[in-house]
Amino acid sequence: MRSIPHFIDNRPTDGASGRFGPVYEPATGAQPARVALASEAEVDAAVAAAVAAYREWGRSSLARRTALLFRYRALLDAHREELARLITAEHGKVHADALGEVARGLEVVELACGIAEKLKGALSTQVSTGVDVAAIRQPLGVVAGITPFNFPAMVPLWMFPVALACGNAFVLKPSERDPSAALRLAELAAEAGFPPGVLNVVNGDRVAVERLLAHPDVAAVSFVGSTPVARAIQQGAVAHGKRVQALGGAKNHMLVLPDADLDAAADNAINAAYGSAGERCMAVSVVVAVGEETGDALAARIAERAAGLRIGPGDDPASEMGPLITAEHRDRVAGYVTGARAQGAEVVVDGTGYTVPGHEAGFFLGVSLLDRVTPEMDAYRDEIFGPVLCLVRVATYDEALELINSSRWGNGTAVFTRDGGAARRYQLEVEAGMVGVNVPIPVPVGYHSFGGWKESLFGDHHVYGDDGVRFYTRGKVITTRWPDPAAAADGINLGFPSHS
């Protein structure tokens, strides 16, 4: 069985803890590899490598960082197919979806290539006689990223390219369920010429996470994952005096008004709910239909489209949806469908018990549509993170807005309508960090920032974009005076400085 190592100081490093975790092939259920789970000592070694690298890297020129990032971008572009294959093998998502993930990660690398523009400071001259004030941003030092299984390449690329561009050294702890893509990203960074220790990867579980949170040389932690873990990450980081951005879970609502193009709304609901087997924090998991006629029409259209979806292994070009990440997660998701029926929902499409011929041991689940869901049901209250779509019916826009805004999450949302005034009102009134108007998954492009509200984000900064630059740097204000050599000395003055 293949063993997946760490990557420290620009070289693979075998695990020394004696602990390993299984890495499955979700389409077959086989376990082709195991991944080393780091001990505290191995985390310390990665951080020590980053500390040593930062001494030079933090003082490196913007020109050097930019040149390396351009080389890295070219290598990533050349290895898109390879990275997508790694993602499909260990995560299970279809190849086209994996390619899209790499492309969205590349957007942030391209943002980082323009870091010189993002790090321009500000200068005010002659704020007082002979006095100038400059504001600059400087790197934090060693920073860490803890990333989830559902986007094993994209989410790391949301973090470390910006951090490195700003002059930090980085320690990445990817998900132990599908670690190979992250390791390949680090290998390509070394090939691009990033110095040893600037980017390190330690695989692991809770032991590695807790050590990164407590390590005195780690200045900041970025995290993407579930809400309970995001809350714990924030609390642990703050307790140790670290800066933190922790992106949590979601229950994303798609509001459909009676005037919407219902065929387009149904198409988009299918794409947003079932793409990547629903294992997306930006997946639409609830459709809110205004009016019974709207609800009936959507239920029929979504069910019709769901029946035609092709589910199979991710490396089959005919597959539109692949398996879930593990058998345990598949069974948990299926439990929400059976539980919803017991709680009074109408199961319009039941995806439980689904198997793919020739892949009976794979972690497959069919798509499910639950109609007449109410806010008291577990399928509505919890983040399912699978191919289960809830349909909730309300009578009015105001009722819909109250329902959506009462959610404890506020990650993303969408509204489908032909009415520009209604769309504008919704985008201003809804309590969510990312809003789509006739766009079901409003993930911002790389030069904006990604993040939600309420229990979908813990910390003050969103990820990548301008917020990413602010997160990975800190401000410094420098006040200078160079007296005119011909001027008389000021003499002693114990008064408070003023601008006169």
- Asked if residue 494 has pLDDT above 90, the reply is no
Judging by DSSP bridges, how do beta strands 409-410 and 243-247 pair with one another?
unpaired
Which residue bears the tokens 């299970």? 92
Residue 172 near residue 181, CB atoms below 8 Å: no
What is the pLDDT at residue 495? Answer: 75
pTM of the model: 0.95
C-alpha triplet 402, 403, 404: angle, nearest 5°: 95
Q: What is the DSSP letter of 140?
A: -
Phi, psi of 326 (to 5 degrees): -145, 165
Q: How far is 473 from 471, CA to CA, in rounded Å?
A: 6
- Count of C-beta atoms within a 10 Å radius of residue 360: 10
Specify the CATH superfamily of domain 2-248+456-478: Aldehyde Dehydrogenase; Chain A, domain 1 (3.40.605.10)
Q: What stretches of 101-203 adopt beta strand conformation (E)?
A: 122-128, 131-139, 142-146, 169-173, 199-201
Q: What is the mean pLDDT of residues 244-259?
A: 98
Q: How far is 256 from 273, CA to CA, in rounded Å?
A: 14
Q: Is 281 a catalytic residue?
A: yes
DSSP string, 30-88: EEEEEEE---HHHHHHHHHHHHHHHHHHTTS-HHHHHHHHHHHHHHHHHTHHHHHHHHH
Half-sphere exposure of 329 (CA within 13 A, CB side): 24
Q: What is the pLDDT of residues 192-246, one digit of tens each?
A: 999 999 999 999 999 999 999 999 999 999 999 999 999 999 999 999 999 999 9
Specify the range with the lowest mean pLDDT, choosing from 2-11, 184-193, 357-366, 478-487: 478-487
Q: What is the pLDDT of residues 87-133, one digit of tens each?
A: 999 999 999 999 999 999 999 999 999 999 999 999 999 999 999 99
Q: What stretches of 193-350 adopt beta strand conformation (E)?
A: 199-201, 218-224, 243-247, 252-256, 284-290, 346-349
Q: What is the DSSP letter of 361?
A: T
Q: What is the mean pLDDT of residues 459-470?
A: 96
- Asked if residue 490 has pLDDT above 90, the reply is no
From 113, 166, 281, 390, the catalytic residue: 281
Residue 90 near residue 178, CB atoms below 8 Å: yes
CATH of 252-437, one of 3.40.309.10, 3.40.50.11610, 2.102.10.10, 3.40.50.300: 3.40.309.10
Q: How far is 166 from 57, CA to CA, in rounded Å?
A: 10
For the chain, what are the domain ranges?
2-248+456-478, 252-437
Strand ordering across the sheet containing 218-224 = 11-13, 6-8, 199-201, 169-173, 142-146, 218-224, 243-247, 457-458
- Asked if residue 489 has pLDDT above 80, the reply is no
Q: What is the pLDDT of residues 297-343, one digit of tens each?
A: 999 999 999 999 999 999 999 999 999 999 999 999 999 999 999 99
What is the pLDDT at residue 499? Answer: 62
